[in-house]
Amino acid sequence: MEESTRRPTKKKVVAVVGGGLVGALNACFFAKRGFNVEVYEIREDIRQAKVVKGRSINLALSHRGRQALKHVGMEEKIVSQGIPMHARMIHSLKGKQSPIPYGKKDQYILSVDRANLNKELLTAVEAFPNTKLNFDHKLQGWSAETGLMTFVRSDGSKEQINADLIVGCDGAFSALRKQFLRRSRFNYSQTYIPHGYMELTIPPLNGEFAMKPNYLHIWPRNTFMMIALPNMDKTFTCTLFMPFEDFEKITTGDEVITFFQKYFPDAIPLIGADTLKRDYFRLPAQAMVSVKCSSYHIGDKCVLMGDAAHAVVPFYGQGMNAGFEDCIVFDEIMELFNEDFSAVLPEYTRVRVPDDHAIADLAMYNYVEMRAHVNSKWFLFRKHVDNILHFLLPQTIIPLYTMVTFTRTRYHEAVERWHWQNKVINRGLFFCAAGAFFGSSYLLIKNPPDIDKLVVPAEKMWNRLVALRTS
């Protein structure tokens, strides 16, 4: 692991609460800068656990996440363990498959396994001599004034530590964030969407992928959808997103098959009817929550990152990428302000809040696009128009998905530019259509057709038909 040449004059202690994806990556960033880093995780070490608890929706790693991994020397290793997905593959009701590319030929997102990525990041943390991983540590309380933290273990024992900076990376239901809620001028909102998700598996077929592997497969059905992402073991992880009320209507195995025969008929032989009947009832549909808050810091002692600051629904594939980008943005601000926490933390809040709120809104919007808009001819037409204009004017017109997924354009700036581009393109299309209409009308007025020439051939045709009928 690459070591930083810059070190604080006095080695400060940074406590990272949460050893998930963002917490582990954050620990690498701080350790690389020379801080003494303590990571506290409520779960056991997932590298030794027989069953890994927590969310399991497959992850789509894109440019923002890769840049953060690259900063700590992890990009190549993680990319080698992922599967490139170059396009969405749309499955119609009749089983027809139609690809919609994400961008240019060399642009793709990576399907990566959440648990494996987390394990690799924890191992990377341990490679630094100035880090320590503390598992089975549940945060019981902390002080924003002193940095004193109290943890309790499963055997009832307690441990207190002091930290110069507390970094909350403990997820959407952050224990650290609860202290923020007690303070004035802290804005917080939590929204559960009416849809849940359920995971199913498509096994390998004769030792190979049962579908084309380099695609994110989507079965869009307007009010709900199913997606499938490839895994390194030649399986696909399918995720069915649907309103809870629709999940609750299905109570027997036969009803599951009837439902899939109606909406996902081509998926039944891929999953297997018996497996489908069993796995549908293995776990109830899981909820999805969107969290927004502001500000992300308290004084110079505590800061929130990842889902603790901005949990998003998974439909833009940016939850992990946004969390990873938090780490690199914070590191860039640390560089700018010479690691002065009193200046770094408020600047991080100022810079990051509008971007994280923007991606939370985009994630909500993209669910509608994925389950419904991809069936629209106008949507597909606009996609082609956007791509053609991007090819002709690469610096002026950039598709929203390209800005979000394949660049580090700030999220809120990408949204603003997208709205501007939509206005320009829609007006352009309107004027083109109006010009074509008025142009053809002018030509017809200036050069009216000869009615007599049109009538005579019509009469001849009618006479021939009458003759044929009477003959």
pLDDT per position as a tens digit, 370-428: 665 656 676 677 777 777 887 787 888 888 889 999 999 999 999 999 888 888 787 87
For 436, list phi and psi in degrees, rounded to 5. -65, -40
pLDDT of residue 3: 45
Q: What is the pLDDT of residue 433?
A: 75
How is domain 13-364 classified at the architecture level of CATH? 3-Layer(bba) Sandwich (3.50)
- pLDDT at position 457 is 60
> Does residue 54 surpass a pLDDT of 80?
no
* pLDDT for the residue numbered 222: 85
Q: For strand 225-230 and strand 215-220, is the pairing parallel, antiparallel, or unpaired?
A: antiparallel
CA distance 367 to 445: 48
Least confident of 125-134, 142-151, 346-355, 417-426: 417-426
Q: Are 222 and 233 in contact (CB under 8 A)?
A: no
* Tens-digit pLDDT profile for residues 250-297: 999 999 999 999 999 999 999 999 999 999 999 899 999 999 999 999
Give residues with Cβ within 8 angstroms of 201, minimum separation 6: 235, 236, 237, 238, 271, 275, 279
Question: What percentage of the chain reaches a pLDDT higher than 90?
Answer: 69
Q: What is the pLDDT of residue 465?
A: 60
Q: Is 220 exposed, middle or buried (0-12, 13-18, 19+ CB in 10 A)?
A: buried
pLDDT attached to residue 9: 47
pLDDT at 430: 75
Q: Measured between alpha carbons, how far is 276 from 361 in angstroms, rounded to an integer?
A: 33
Its sign, for the CA torsion 47, 232, 316, 366, is negative
pLDDT at 4 over 50: no
pLDDT in tens, 437-470: 677 776 777 777 665 555 556 566 666 666 655 6
Q: Are 217 and 111 in contact (CB under 8 A)?
A: no
**Tokens 């239901």 correspond to what residue?**
173
Judged against a pLDDT cut of 90, whether residue 158 lies above it is answered with yes
- What is the average per-residue pLDDT within 42-49? 92
Q: What is the pLDDT of residue 305?
A: 97
Examine the pLDDT at 179 and tell me if it is beyond 70.
yes
Residue 257 and residue 271: Cα distance in Å, rounded? 11
Joined together, the tokens standing for residue 118 give 């987390």
- Domain ranges, ordered by start, for the chain: 13-364, 377-445
> How high is the pLDDT of residue 237?
95
Q: Phi and psi of 50, rounded to 5°?
A: -75, -40
Integer CA distances (angstroms), 416 to 133, 293, 377, 419, in order: 41, 21, 25, 5
Between 460 and 65, residue with greater pLDDT? 65
Q: Are residues 87 and 99 in contact, defined by beta-carbon separation less than 8 angstroms?
A: yes
Indicate whether 190 pLDDT > 60.
yes
CA distance 208 to 210: 6
Count of beta carbons in the 10 Å neighbourhood of residue 465: 10
Render pLDDT for 308-332 as a digit per residue (tens, 0 to 9). Answer: 999 999 888 899 999 999 999 999 9
pLDDT score, position 295? 92
Least confident of 121-135, 357-371, 434-448: 434-448
pLDDT at 5 over 60: no
Cα–Cα dist 46/53, whole Å = 8
Please write down the long-range contacts of 396-399, taking CB distance under 8 Å and 24 or more positions apart: 397/421, 397/425, 399/103
Tell me how far apart the alpha carbons of residues 264 and 449 are, in angstroms, rounded to a whole number. 53
Using the predicted structure, report yes or no on whether residue 349 has a pLDDT greater than 80.
Answer: yes
Is the predicted pLDDT of residue 218 greater than 80, yes or no?
A: yes
Residue 471 has pLDDT above 70, yes or no: no
Q: How confident is the model at residue 2 (pLDDT cuts 50, 70, 90)?
A: very low
- Averaged pLDDT of the chain: 88
Query: What is the share, in percent, of the chain residues with pLDDT greater than 70?
Result: 88
